[in-house]
Amino acid sequence: MPIAIVWTTEMDDTLRFMVSNAQSFEAIGPALGMNRETAVRRARTLGIFKSRQHARTPNPPAVPALDRRQDALPAGHPYSWNLINRGLSIEGEPYPPGET
């Protein structure tokens, strides 16, 4: 039968501190004397769990409200051009590439 863990405020503070400093749960669990999953469960209970994927992904830019009946955007429209080139070496370049 699993051993019941009695969480103290000191353990919760340590957990909060380590999560806020972006420490991995692989390091947090042993630091608190437990396995990773137990630390993750407690972080979720406290509302401080952040998955790595969500923590690293910046907020996406606001999407303009487009009417479905609206005509297609013209070639090189800043909105579609920036979506196509996000993360590429030409990100931020005007359309057509190479012109300023």
Residue 23 and residue 48 in one domain = yes
Residue 80 and residue 46 in one domain = no
Residue 77 and residue 48 in one domain = no
Residue 82 and residue 46 in one domain = no
Does residue 23 form part of some domain? yes
Residue 75 and residue 100 in one domain = yes
C-alpha angle 29-58-86 in degrees, rounded to nearest 5: 135
Alpha carbons 26 and 44: distance in angstroms, whole number: 15
Residue 49 and residue 82 in one domain = no
pLDDT in tens, 7-42: 899 999 999 999 888 888 889 989 999 999 999 999
- What value does the CA radius of gyration of the chain take, rounded to a whole number of Å? 23
**Count of domains forming the chain:** 2
Which residue range(s) make up the domain with 93?
69-100
Does residue 96 form part of some domain? yes
47 or 57: which leads in pLDDT:
47
pLDDT in tens, 61-98: 666 666 666 677 788 888 888 888 888 888 888 887 66
Does residue 63 form part of some domain? no
